[in-house]
Structure 1
Amino acid sequence: MNRYGEKAMRQRRITVVVVMVLLLAAGFAGGRFSVWLQYPIVKDKAFGNLSYAYNEIRANYLNGADSKALVDGAAEGMVGSLQDPYSVYLPEDKGEAYVQSYQDHFVGIGVEIRQEDGAFIVDSVIKGAPAEKAKVRKEDELTAIDGKSVKGLSFDELKAKLQGETGSTVMLDVSRSGKPLTVKVVRGDVPVLTVASEMKPGGIGVITISRFAEKTAKEFDAAIQSLQKQGMKALLLDLRGNPGGLLNPTIEIANRFVPKGKTIVQVVYKDEKRVLTHKSSQKTPWKLPIAILVDAHTASSAEVLTAALKDTAGAQVVGEKTFGKGIVQNFNQLKDGSVLKLTEAQWRTPNGQWIHKKGIDPNVVVAAPDYALLPRLDAGLKLAVGDYGDRVVTVQKMLQTIGYDTGKGTGIYDEATAAAVRTFQQQESLPVTGDMNDKTAYRILTKLMAKYQAEDPQRNKAMELLNAAVTSAPPAQ
């Protein structure tokens, strides 16, 4: 080969090398661009600080650190920096529990437990749950699970021992009226019900919705059908204490009352780039009078339903101004079960009103009695002569409300208070000590609840309005 041929071959080799270098460079640039597209956080200058902190902790932290925990902590901190109480990152188990809270069932045995002077007492047995089938009863004292004493366990530890896989067995040792028993319970689906109903005199149907979950609309439809079969003439919808929940079942329920084509709610996203107007798809016009009970704890989706029925369906809203949560959170569950819940929109009533931090005013204002607003007494309560403080004030007000004289009630647990407690304990067949404990507090709360159920001024006013509406309504043709 001559020198010109050798020169040409060298040039080709150089060209090939240059092309390979260019291809490698292009591949590197393309890969980096792809990373930027998938993970825009890497372009942020502050990402270097996050990466540095992660690497330093992993390499040098004295006690070692789990990488997953570090990333979860960073995500929680990032969402926390928004200073929005409704936006939250929930890692794994917490995320799973959050999603499960909206489902229509969970796996367990189906009991509600209260703690009473160190003992775990069955407060109620859920209808249709495995515990009911196994004949566990209200007021059974749970003493052991699978042969191991429950003494000293926390509520979370107790819950973990009662839960398990569908079909698995748990052995419960209980004390029933002082007699020891062992009950075998096969874990299974426990229904989560969010709707309760009853028929009141005069044909007033009452439906209470505790929150809005996956099957709330179906439960509501079943309740309506049951009340209609009983001859319902008017509907009282109790949303007091309802914190909200999922929007879809709320809209499904509103469809029954809001005239077809009328707006139920308008959801407005960031910078009004997207506005969703939910209109009623009502099939059969609703003709019966409606009243809605609300209070300061009626929030979110419960306010959506309240506003829709007040603005478009002629519902009378009775009670107190609602909470005022006029924003919408969307949540997504990630592959590991974690959940990101983020405020992404706000909503307007059918009349075009923003209610966030304002609430909804009732048509008829009726305050709850003062005793209904008293704080609950926490488990582990122990009060005796000489004690003082807010808990003593609460006990004194509770006793006074149910007819026991505690003297001046100044917040000091004095002899007059102890005497009132002794009288109450004696009448309730409790150990007479004059001291406050969980068992005594529970009985006092039971009496208070019974008094409220009998008096309930908000419910009574709503019933009065509905009875008047039924009486004045023209006869059916």
Structure 2
Amino acid sequence: MNKFGEKAMKQRRTTVVVVMLLLLVGGFAGGRLSILLQYPIVKDKAFGNLSYAYNEIMHDYLNGAQSKALVDGAAEGMVGSLQDPYSVYLSEDKGEAYVQSYQDHFVGIGVEIRQQDGAFIIDSVIKGAPAEKAKLLKEDEIVSIDGKSVQGWTFDELKEKLQGKSGSTVTLQVNRSGKTMTMKVVRGDVPVLTVYSEMKAGGIGEITISRFAEKTADEFDAAIKSLQKKGMKSLLLDLRGNPGGLLNPTIEIANRFVPKDKTIVQVVYKGEKRVLTHKSTQKEPWTLPIAILVDAHTASSAEVLTAALKDTAGAQVVGEKTFGKGIVQNFNQLKDGSVLKLTEAQWRTPDGQWIHKKGIDPNVVVAAPDYALLPRLDAGLKLTVGDYGDKVVTVQKMLQTIGYDTGQGSGIYDAATSEAVRSFQQKESLPVTGDMNDLTAYRVLTKLMDKYKVEDPQRNKAMELLQAAESGAAANK
């Protein structure tokens, strides 16, 4: 080979090396760019601090640490730093529980339980649930689960033992009116109902929505059809205490009442980069009078429905100003079950009003009676002569409301209070001790609820308005 050939060969080798280097550099740069695009957090200077803390903990922390727990903790802290009570990161099981809370069923036995003087008492049996099929009854006391005494357990421990895989069997020992019985219950799907309906006097159909979940619109449709078959002349919609929930079923329900093509709600995202206007797709005009009951705990999606029907469907809103939650959270479930719930938008009423931290004013303001706002008494309650404090005040007010004289009711559990409790216990065929315990408190609360059902001034006012509207409509025919 001559010197010109050798020179050409060297040039080709040099070119190949340069190309290889360029490819390596390009590949590295491309990979880095891909990482930066996929994980923009890497660009933040503070990411170095996070990485440093993670490495130090994993390598040197005395008690050791789990990588997953550290990452979950970082995610929780990051969302927590937003100081937004509605945005949250829920890791694995918590995320799964959050998603399941919106589904139309869960796996279990289907009972509601109260804790009473250290015992677990079945407060109600859900219709169609495994517990009903196994013939468990209200007021049964759960003594043991799968041969293990429940004495000293917490509610969470009891719940964990009652839940399990669908088709599996749990053995309960219950005390029923002094008789011990063993019941085998096959776990299965328990329906989660969010809609309750009842026909009131004068053809007033009442529907209560506890929250807006996956199947709430379907439940609502079934309730409407049932009431229509019974001759409903007007509708009373009770949204008191409804914390909201999913937006889609709320819009589906609004479609029934809001005139076609009228706005139900506007959802406005960050910087107004996206505005979603939900308009009614009503199929048949709604002609019956509507009244809606609201209070300070009516929030979020419940406020969306209230505003839509008030602004466009002529609904009379009765009660107290609503909570005022005019922002929207979207949630995404990750591969491991964790959930990121994040505030991403706010919403406007059909007439363009922002209601966040303002609430919705009712057409007719009616306050709830003072006794309806009394706090519930916690399980494990034990009060006797000489005790004092807020719980004693609550007990005295409850007893006074149902007609028992506690004297001055000064917050001291005195002889007059003890005598009032003794009188109540004697009338209710309870052990007469003069002391307040869970069982006595439960019976007092039951009497209060019975009184409220009759006296409820908000419901009674709404029914009065509906009866007047129905009479007026009949007169105009």
User: Same fold per TM (> 0.5)?
Assistant: yes
Q: How does 1:228-239 map to 2 (within 5 A)?
A: 228-239=228-239
* Distance in 2 of aligned mates of 1:63 and 1:416: 57
Q: How does 1:161-240 map to 2 (within 5 A)?
A: 161-240=161-240
Aligned-partner Cα distance in 2 for 1:380–1:10:
91
Supply the distance in 2 between the matched residues of 1:199 and 1:100 (Cα, whole angstroms): 31
Equivalent residue letter for 2:163: Q
Aligned residue type for 2:450: A
CA shift at 1:385, angstroms? 1.1
What CA deviation, in whole Å up to 9, does each residue of 1:406-446 have, x standing for no partner?
11111111111111111111111111111111111111111
Question: Partners of 2:449 and 2:61 in 1: how far apart?
Answer: 54
Q: 257-266 or 432-441: which moved more?
A: 432-441
Per-residue CA deviations over 1:209-252 (Å, capped at 9, x if unaligned) read: 00000100010000000000000000000000000000000000
3-state SS of 1:165 partner: coil
Aligned counterparts, 1:38-437, within 5 A: 38-437=38-437
Opposite residue 85 of structure 2, the aligned amino acid is: P
For the residues of structure 1 that align with 2:475 and 2:440, how far apart are their CA atoms? 52
* CA–CA distance in structure 1, aligned partners of residues 377 and 46 of structure 2: 47
Q: For residues 437 and 14 of structure 1, what CA distance do their matches in structure 2 show?
A: 92
2:456 corresponding residue in structure 1: 456
Structure 2 distance, partners of 1:14, 1:155, is 76
Question: Post-superposition shift, 1:47?
Answer: 0.6
Deviation track 1:330-365 (CA, whole Å, cap 9, x = no partner) reads 000000000000000000000110000000000000
Counterpart Cα distance in 1 of 2:345 and 2:370: 36
The aligned counterpart of 1:11 is 11
Q: Distance in 1 between matches of 2:310 and 2:168?
A: 48
- Cα deviations across residues 39-94 of structure 1 (Å, max 9, x unaligned)? 00000111111111111111111111111111111000000000000000000000
CA offset digits 1:1-40 (Å, max 9, x no partner): 3333333323322221221111111100000000000000
* 1-structure distance, mates of 2:11, 2:174: 91
1:116-143 per-position Cα deviation (integer Å, ceiling 9, x unaligned) = 1110000100000000000000000001
Q: Per-residue deviation at 1:474? A: 3.1
Q: Say which SS state the counterpart of residue 202 (structure 2) adopts.
A: coil
Q: Which moves more between the two structures, 382-391 or 356-365?
A: 382-391
Give the Cα–Cα distance (whole angstroms) in 1 for the partners of residues 128 and 45 of structure 2. Answer: 57
Tell me whether 430-439 or 175-184 shows the greater mean CA deviation. Answer: 430-439
| Equivalent residues, number | 477
Counterpart AA for 1:311? D
Output one character per residue of 1:240-293: Cα deviation in whole Å (capped at 9) or x when no partner: 000000000000000000000100000000000000000001000000000000
Q: Which string of whole-angstrom CA distances, capped at 9 and with x for unpartnered residues, describes residues 299-324 of structure 1? A: 00000000000000000000000000
CA distance in 2 between counterparts of 1:63 and 1:418 reads 54
Between the aligned partners of 1:393 and 1:415, the Cα distance in structure 2 is 14
Task: Return the alpha-carbon distance in structure 1 between the equivalents of residues 360 and 344 of structure 2.
Answer: 22
TM-score, length-normalised on structure 2?
A: 0.99
Q: Distance in 2 between matches of 1:302 and 1:197?
A: 17
When the two structures are superposed, what TM-score results if normalisation uses the length of structure 1? 0.99
- SS of residue paired to 1:384: coil
Distance 2:347 2:166 in 1: 40
Partner of 1:22: 22
Q: 2-side partners of 1:21 and 1:415: how far apart?
A: 94
**Partner-residue secondary structure (3-state), 1:330:** strand
Point out where structure 2 has 5 or more consecutive residues left out of the alignment: none
The residue type equivalent to 2:289 in the other structure is P
User: Aligned with 1:114: secondary structure?
Assistant: strand
Deviation, structure 1 residue 188: 0.4
- 2:171 aligned counterpart, secondary structure: strand
Measured in 1, the distance between the counterparts of 2:79 and 2:264 equals 31
C-alpha separation in 2, matches of 1:91 and 1:238 = 34
Q: For residues 189 and 295 of structure 2, what CA distance do their matches in structure 1 show?
A: 33
What is the root-mean-square deviation of aligned Cα atoms in Å? 1.0
Shift of 1:179: 0.3
Please give the per-residue CA displacement for 1:143-173, whole angstroms capped at 9, x wherever unaligned. 1011111111111111110001111000010
1:143 and 1:123 map into 2 onto residues whose CA distance is 15
Structure-2 separation of matches of 1:86 and 1:41: 23
Distance 1:245 1:271 in 2: 24
Secondary structure at 1:473 match in 2 = helix
Q: Distance in 1 between matches of 2:11 and 2:305?
A: 78
AA partner of residue 23 (structure 1): L
Distance 2:409 2:336 in 1: 54
Cα distance, 1:476 vs structure 2:
8.9
Whole-Å separation in 2 of the counterparts to 1:455 and 1:73: 49
SS of structure 1 residue aligned to 2:474: coil
Give the distance between the partners of 1:296 and 1:5, measured in 2 at CA: 92
C-alpha distance in 1 between matches for 2:192 and 2:465 = 32
SS of equivalent to 2:371: helix
2:70 equivalent to 1:32? no
Q: State the shift of 1:475 in Å.
A: 5.9
Question: Quick one: distance in 1 between partners of 2:196 and 2:184?
Answer: 30
SS at the partner of 1:474?
A: helix
